Amino acid sequence: MPASVHGTAQFRPASDNSLLIYFDQHISLDAHQQVAKLIRLLELQPITGIVNLHPAYCSVLLKFDALKLRHEELETRLRPYFDRLDEVTLPEPRHREIPVCYGGEYGPDLAEVCATHSLSVQQAIDLHVSATYIVYFLGFVPGFAYLGGLPEALVTPRLPVPRRRVPPGSVGIASQQSGIYPFATPGGWRLIGRTPLAMFRSDRTDMSLLSIGDRVHFTPISPGQYTALENA
Amino acid sequence: MKAIQVEAPGLFTTVQDLGREGFGPLGVSPSGAADPISLRLGNRLVGNPDNAAALEMTLLGGTFLFPEGAVLALSGSDFGATIDGVGVDPWMSFEALPGQTARLGPTRSGARSYLCVEGGMAVRPFLGSASTHALSGLGGFEGRALRKGDVLSIANASQPYRRLTIAPYILSRLSPRKILRCTPGPQSEWFPESSQNLFYNSTYRVAEDSNRMGLRLDGPAIPVSSSGHMITEGVSLGAIQVPGGGSQIISSPIILFVEQQTTGGYPKIANVISADLPSVGQLRPRDEIRFEQVSFETAGALLREQEALLASQELIQE
């Protein structure tokens, strides 16, 4: 089935019960806003038969009940939503501070990142905490925030061979992205530090500490502060 | 409340229902039974709704004591079950009397067996579902696979026990397949015709390190001639992704499964159709499989045909 286009959005079936909507073919704030607005509009005015939504950098994957909907019907029902995206107002972005203990056992790849860019450890930390990051979306595992806004001087490719186990709370960088691992999972991002905060807890009202659209700052902390916060 | 005491957990036994849909924006994948058809049928044999929580066993079953007794059914693959030493067949309900023990062994057919209990397993739901998401330690029984000594509660039920079974002709039409039918993936155009031919004409073998997150396949690597730069995007259940990047990377495919990552950055050549996903849940390491391309129309028709079988009045027999 060929891709079809509506305005700036392109539709493409991903499976017999899911449809990908692309707003762009590269990461941009504009595409992110479109993604966030479509998600918001679909939450406010759900389309019967859509059972799940997966926002990403510049796309949304919609999963539907294939006994109730077909791709073409869903596309038809979505068209009015695209015409109304400009009317959607997104909530004011929340600001979140994430304390991070950098380097050493907390960030085993920091030294190599520094060497790659001829930076001192302090310069790399200063760069990482200087930026304001945007939560483009949550994905991969529960509560994993994909953060855009990494300073150009820190842009580093992912590890050639992923780790089998990344400790929870690890702060990683990969290409232009930064992110925080909520759980012990395999992972190929370069780990520069770790936060003692629980990024995802099922016994909290806001299970995920971060939500789509949040603005994030990192604050450097010492190993002592890390331990204190972890036990708080 | 009745209970199940775990005397031996088996290889990897978790509490599963039909999963939690709708939490993609949180990065939470649905999880749920790897073979939902077997779970649904097993639940019907004990008078439960399709979505009731049961124990999903993998390759090697466990040993379970029922201090107060229970009405049970085993569905999915045959794990050679006995109750106090007397053999019980899958696909029919049976009673465990107070103090009796159900013992399951290694599989005699596919990867998974479901132990369904009248009333269903009572666990605290996470986001509306009893399913275990083992990677993140959420849902199910303490977010993990069962261990020796665990005691799980069974939700109350009050129907009189009836011995029920599944109509054999319907069961045979729902049996797991080794030729998985697929629709094209969202990046199928990134794979040249030679890669497509290789993928659809080769036999793949399920690798040992496959699990509920994904099945790794040993077999011919599929060259990707990427025409674009892959940006992380939402991934669908049953997506067949080809890891790698750059212009001419060669790699073996992975089928993303029920506990999948919700987003990913690798191109997908194809996607297993909904009607064949339960078959993926019955694949064992070293099983040999092939892929067959079908249209979206055919995929829809096959799903409707499957649901019609599951809705048949003749499905459950006394």
Q: Do residues A128 and A40 share a domain?
A: no
Query: What pLDDT is recorded for position A26?
Result: 87
In this complex, which of B27, B231, B237 lies closest to A138 when CB atoms are compared? B27
So what's the ipTM on this one?
0.94
CA distance B70 to chain A (A): 31
Q: Do residues A107 and A69 share a domain?
A: no
Q: Do residues A193 and A104 share a domain?
A: yes
Query: What pLDDT is recorded for position B104?
Result: 98
In this complex, which of A67, A202, A212 lies closest to B126 when CB atoms are compared? A202
Number of domains within chain A: 2
Task: For residue B199, report the phi and psi dihedrals to the nearest 5 degrees.
Answer: -65, -45
Query: What pLDDT is recorded for position A4?
Result: 65
CA gap B137, B144 in Å, rounded: 6
Out of A64, A87, A110, a domain closes at: A87
- Burial label, B69 (beta-carbon count in 10 A; 0-12, 13-18, 19+): middle
Query: What pLDDT is recorded for position B248?
Result: 43
Query: What pLDDT is recorded for position A162?
Result: 83
Out of A87, A116, A147, a domain closes at: A87
Give residues with Cβ within 8 angstroms of A202, minimum separation 6.
B126, B127, B138
Query: What pLDDT is recorded for position B161?
Result: 86
Q: Do residues A143 and A80 share a domain?
A: no
Query: What pLDDT is recorded for position B252?
Result: 79
Q: Which two tokens stand for residue B39?
A: 């779970």
In this complex, which of A17, A66, A141 lies closest to B135 when CB atoms are compared? A141
Are the beta carbons of B178 and B290 closer than 8 angstroms?
yes
- Integer-rounded Cα Rg, in Å, for chain B is 20
Q: Do residues A209 and A100 share a domain?
A: yes
CA gap B228, B246 in Å, rounded: 9
pTM metric for this prediction: 0.94
Q: Do residues A26 and A42 share a domain?
A: yes
pLDDT in tens, chain A (232 residues): 556 666 678 999 999 999 999 999 888 999 999 999 999 999 999 999 999 999 999 999 999 999 999 999 999 999 999 999 999 999 999 999 999 999 999 999 999 999 999 999 999 999 999 999 999 999 999 999 999 999 999 999 988 888 989 999 999 999 889 999 999 998 989 999 999 999 999 999 999 999 999 999 999 999 999 999 998 8
Question: A52, A136, A189: which to substitute to probe chain B, counting the most B Cβ within 10 Å?
Answer: A52
In this complex, which of B28, B234, B300 lies closest to A60 when CB atoms are compared? B234
Q: Do residues A38 and A105 share a domain?
A: no
CA gap B315, B172 in Å, rounded: 12
- Hey, are the CB atoms on A14 and B186 less than 8 Å from each other? yes
What sections of B134-192 are H helices per DSSP?
Answer: 168-173
Residue ranges for chain B with pLDDT beneath 50: 245-248
Which ranges in chain B are annotated with CATH 2.40.100.10?
179-310
Q: Do residues A216 and A165 share a domain?
A: yes
CA distance A8 to chain B (A): 17
CA distance B104 to chain A (A): 31
Question: Interior CA angle at B255 toward B249 and B260, to 5°?
Answer: 110
Out of A87, A110, A125, a domain closes at: A87
Q: Do residues A67 and A23 share a domain?
A: yes
Containing structural domain, residue A212? 95-231
Q: Do residues A141 and A182 share a domain?
A: yes
Sequence letter at residue A170: S
Residue A208: list chain B partners with CB under 8 A. Answer: 26-27
**CATH number of the domain that A224 lies in?**
2.40.100.10
Q: Do residues A160 and A77 share a domain?
A: no
Give residues with Cβ within 8 angstroms of A115, minimum separation 6.
none
Give A183's Cβ-side CA count (13 Å radius): 22
The whole-angstrom distance between residue A94's C-alpha and the CA centroid of its chain comes to 15
Are the beta carbons of B134 and B147 closer than 8 angstroms?
no
Q: Do residues A100 and A60 share a domain?
A: no
- Hey, are the CB atoms on B236 and A39 less than 8 Å from each other? no
**CATH number of the domain that A18 lies in?**
3.30.1360.40
SS3 letters for B41-76?
HHHHHCCCCCCCCEEEEECECCEEEECCCEEEEEEE
For helices A110-117 and A121-130, give the axis angle rounded to 10 degrees.
90
Query: What pLDDT is recorded for position B216?
Result: 93
Looking at domain B179-310, its CATH architecture is Beta Barrel (2.40)
Q: Chain A residue closest to B301 (CA)?
A: A67
Helix, coil or strand: residue B198: helix
